[in-house]
């Protein structure tokens, strides 16, 4: 078996959503039989490794992805173990999310359901999902490549559970023919080329080259310039310089918006660099196309206005619920929220809490990837992700519904990927940005996705941002400053 299903690499606000975690000792052990190594490269620059091994039919994978963020090295570590048991198939994954915080997800594939257990930041949650007819476990998925190669339409369609998305998805494998491929230290060989994607997660696919035995030789991601190449253990573990992700994730903005003042409205024209139509599924601001040009999307962003008439969507119970990342029922978070929120309308109390977060996170750097609210309260360190989840926890602890928003923010002549917090003030979702100490957010902010992060997963935010990264250019059509 060779699935090469290493950890999904998610970028939020142009930063990685997970950070350093102690590496397991597996990489230092002698390579066992059946072990395969892959070198990861981002834009052609070394970015980590993947190790796969099999033992008595069970399958294990470990990966390390590393990049720089303004000189600070960030690491995303993942380990997966797939095994058959007397009751079915079990998949367990461990992923680093912050110092001393690791997400563990275990999935049991049963005949009539999927049973999930999730442990993160000292909390455990369990759920059971009904399985659609014909759901395939990961062992059965590996056999679909041969089916695609021999099918009359050169494709295989099925449903399975993707751990990186934490949900059941439809998957399609397309057989694209054969190529001659050469990997490091090996002779050229004939490889079958496949494209793997899910209609449920647009543009999240990959292209794989497999040898005659089904082993993966190369994998190229659709969304990111990320390539995994089969190589020796020594080459995979070789150290060296890596890419600075922040420099690659900035979006030029023409003309520039002023750094000072408040923008009542800004109308943007967004287009893909390759000229193809831009996917609008994840745009959460008013958007339209004009003049019959499908390659340009016009998006209007405006100053949030507390106290507006009720707008859709209304918050559900998840906007007040505690979660592994947003521990709004933590006694210390409740104590701080009660002390800092004060009295008055929800909007006024939320502004006080936003100002507290802006002051409390004293060390504003990129050395933390995605810590939970309680970890951020204790460490008082982080970037936009830490500011956003801490404010979301404090507002929920104060009885104010909240969610986390992902998108772009204008910073003069460029836009950067960013996270901020939205609260429901009784009539509308209103944004607050404790990172830049802005409340409410204005036309500089372009929302691409939002989530209450109920289960602790950041995938809903990543799916909004990833289809745009490295693919779009933005210009300002017109902008109006608010009267202050």
**pTM of the complete model beyond 0.95:** no
What pLDDT score was predicted for residue 145?
Answer: 95
Alpha helix segments (H runs only) across 215-326: 233-237, 245-248
List own/partner pairs for 123-129 with CB under 8 A and 24 or more apart. Answer: 123/324, 123/327, 125/324, 125/455, 125/456, 129/168
Strands (E), 56-133: 58-69, 72-85, 88-98, 101-109, 113-120, 123-130
Neighbours of 241 (CB within 10 A): 8
What pLDDT score was predicted for residue 26?
Answer: 32
What pLDDT score was predicted for residue 433?
Answer: 96
Which residue from 339, 324, 323, 346 is spatially nearest to 430, judged by alpha carbons? 346
Q: What are phi and psi of 183, to 5 degrees?
A: -110, 170
What pLDDT score was predicted for residue 132?
Answer: 80
CA angle 405–410–414, rounded 5-degree value: 130
Neighbours of 263 (CB within 10 A): 21
**Would you mind telling me the total number of residues written for the chain in this entry?**
484
Neighbours of 101 (CB within 10 A): 22
Q: What are phi and psi of 390, to 5 degrees?
A: -65, -45
217's tokens: 């030789």
What pLDDT score was predicted for residue 324?
Answer: 83
Rounded distance, CA 431 to CA 397, Å? 18
Report, as ranges of residue numbers, the positions in the chain whose pLDDT lies below 70: 1-33, 69-72, 97-101, 202-203, 243-248, 278-294, 307-313, 367, 369, 455-457, 459-460, 463, 484
Q: In the block, which residue shows the tokens 């409390």?
A: 360
What pLDDT score was predicted for residue 309?
Answer: 55
What pLDDT score was predicted for residue 28?
Answer: 35
Neighbours of 357 (CB within 10 A): 30
Rounded distance, CA 29 to CA 49, Å? 15
Q: Tell me the per-residue pLDDT of 201-222, one tens digit each, with 9 for 90 and over.
A: 766 789 999 998 888 999 998 8
Rounded distance, CA 186 to CA 179, Å? 15
Rounded distance, CA 289 to CA 279, Å? 12
In 3-state terms, what secondary structure has residue 248?
A: helix
Q: Tell me the per-residue pLDDT of 141-195, one tens digit each, with 9 for 90 and over.
A: 989 999 999 999 999 999 998 887 778 889 999 999 999 998 877 788 899 999 9
Q: Tell me the per-residue pLDDT of 279-306, one tens digit each, with 9 for 90 and over.
A: 654 555 555 655 556 678 888 898 877 7
In this structure, the dihedral spanned by the alpha carbons of residues 188, 240, 97 and 248, taken in order and rounded to 10 degrees, is -80
| H/E element, 192 | strand 189-198
DSSP assigned state of 136? B
Q: b/e map of 122-160 (b: 16 or more CB within 10 Å)?
A: eeeeeeeeebeeebbbbbebbebbeebbeeeeebbebbb
Q: In the block, which residue shows the tokens 């699935």?
A: 3
Neighbours of 265 (CB within 10 A): 15
Cα–Cα distances in angstroms (integers) from residue 288 to residues 10, 21, 65, in the given order: 27, 43, 37
Instruction: Give me the helix-helix angle, 346-360 and 331-341, nearest 10°.
Output: 110
Q: What are phi and psi of 283, to 5 degrees?
A: -75, 125
Rounded distance, CA 58 to CA 60, Å? 7
Rounded distance, CA 264 to CA 174, Å? 47
**190 class by beta-carbon count within 10 Å (0-12 exposed, 13-18 middle, 19+ buried):** exposed
> To the nearest 5 percent, what fractions of the chain are helix, strand and coil?
15, 45, 40
Percent of the chain past pLDDT 70, that is, above it, reads 82
Q: What are phi and psi of 132, to 5 degrees?
A: -70, 155
| Domains in the chain with CATH codes | 11-244 (no CATH), 250-481 (3.10.620.30)
Rounded distance, CA 20 to CA 61, Å? 18
Q: b/e map of 39-70 (b: 16 or more CB within 10 Å)?
A: bbbbeebbbbbbbbbbeeeebbbbbbbbbbbe
């Amino acid at each position: 078996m060779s699935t090469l299903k290493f950890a999904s690499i998610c970028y939020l606000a142009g930063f990685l959503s997970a950070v350093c975690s102690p590496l397991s000792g597996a990489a230092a052990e002698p390579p066992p039989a059946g072990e395969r190594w892959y070198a990861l490269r981002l834009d052609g620059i070394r970015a980590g490794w993947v190790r796969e091994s099999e033992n008595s039919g069970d399958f294990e994978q470990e990966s390390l992805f590393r990049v720089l963020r303004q000189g600070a090295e960030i690491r995303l570590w993942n380990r997966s173990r797939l095994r058959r048991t007397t009751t079915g198939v079990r998949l367990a994954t461990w992923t680093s999310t912050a110092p001393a915080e690791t997400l563990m997800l275990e999935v049991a594939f049963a005949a009539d359901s999927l049973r999930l257990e999730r442990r993160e930041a000292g909390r455990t949650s369990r759920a059971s999902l009904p399985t659609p007819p014909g759901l395939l476990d990961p062992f059965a998925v590996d056999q679909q490549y041969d089916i695609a190669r021999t099918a009359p339409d050169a494709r295989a369609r099925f449903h399975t559970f993707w751990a990186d998305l934490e949900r059941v998805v439809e998957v399609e494998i397309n057989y694209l023919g054969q190529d001659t491929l050469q990997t490091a230290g090996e002779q050229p060989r004939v490889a079958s080329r496949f494209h793997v994607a899910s209609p449920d997660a647009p543009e999240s696919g990959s292209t794989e080259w497999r040898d005659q035995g089904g082993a993966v030789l190369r994998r190229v991601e659709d969304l990111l310039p990320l390539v995994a190449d089969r190589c020796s253990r020594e080459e995979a573990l070789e150290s060296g310089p890596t890419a600075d992700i922040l420099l690659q994730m900035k979006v030029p903005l023409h003309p520039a918006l002023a750094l000072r003042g408040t923008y009542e409205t800004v109308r943007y024209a967004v287009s893909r660099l390759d000229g193809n139509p831009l996917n609008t599924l994840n745009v959460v601001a008013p958007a339209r196309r004009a003049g019959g040009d499908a390659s340009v999307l016009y998006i209007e962003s405006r100053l949030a206005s507390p106290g507006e008439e009720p707008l859709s969507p209304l918050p559900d119970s998840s906007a007040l619920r505690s979660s592994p990342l947003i521990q709004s029922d933590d006694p210390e978070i409740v104590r701080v929220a009660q002390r800092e929120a004060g009295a008055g309308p929800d909007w006024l109390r939320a502004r006080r809490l936003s100002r507290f977060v802006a002051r409390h996170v004293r060390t504003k750097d990129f050395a933390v990837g995605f810590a939970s609210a309680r970890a951020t309260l204790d460490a008082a360190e982080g970037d936009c992700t830490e500011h956003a989840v801490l404010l979301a926890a404090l507002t929920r602890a104060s009885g104010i519904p909240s969610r986390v928003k992902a998108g772009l923010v204008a910073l003069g002549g460029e836009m950067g990927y960013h996270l901020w917090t939205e609260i429901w003030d009784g009539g509308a979702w209103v944004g607050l940005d404790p990172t830049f100490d802005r409340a409410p957010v204005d036309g500089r902010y372009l929302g691409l996705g939002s989530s209450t992060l109920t289960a602790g997963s950041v995938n809903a935010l990543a799916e909004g941002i990833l289809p745009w990264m490295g693919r779009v250019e933005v210009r300002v059509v017109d902008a109006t400053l608010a009267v202050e």
